Amino acid sequence: MNIKEASEITGISSSTIRYYEKEQLIPPISRNESGVRQIDNHIIRRIQFVKQMRAAGMGIDILRNFIYLFESENDSKKEQLKILKEQVQIMEEKRDDLQSAINHLHFKINNFDTHMEDTEKELKNLENNSK
């Protein structure tokens, strides 16, 4: 299939697929006699893998290193696992920060009337005292 078809299947733009190839996140894509990229199922699976890892917040350099370790002939399972655990920790910290902000917004919503009255009174008192 060509790059447009791969884009439609994966939900990744053609330019992003070309970028992934340039950054060596996916294997080099073969071309036909006319120079058109010919993408097979192996490349599609790799694009989907990269998409998932990027959605998990993994940076390009870390992902490239992870792929390098995966493709190497050395036993790199411990290093790969370390990268995955670090990424989970980063994502959990982001989730916790986001959950804290969501909780704060829920508090504001649930206490909107009373909280707003108290806050407005406090601000008015500060304005009057500063005059």
Task: Give per-residue pLDDT as tens, 25-49.
Answer: 999 999 999 989 999 999 999 999 9
Structure tokens at 121: 């009174």
Distance CA 89, CA 128 (A): 48
Write down the pTM of the prediction: 0.75
- The distance of Cα 67 from the centroid of its chain, to the nearest Å, equals 16
Q: What is the pLDDT of residue 44?
A: 97
What are residue 38's DSSP bridge partners?
Answer: 30
Is the pLDDT at 127 greater than 70, yes or no?
yes
Q: What is the pLDDT of residue 121?
A: 80
C-alpha pair distances (Å), 100 with each of 37, 94, 104: 46, 10, 6
C-alpha pair distances (Å), 94 with each of 68, 85, 97, 114: 26, 14, 5, 30
Instruction: For residues 111-128, give the mean pLDDT.
Output: 79
Least confident of 28-37, 106-115, 119-128: 119-128
Q: What is the pLDDT of residue 6?
A: 96
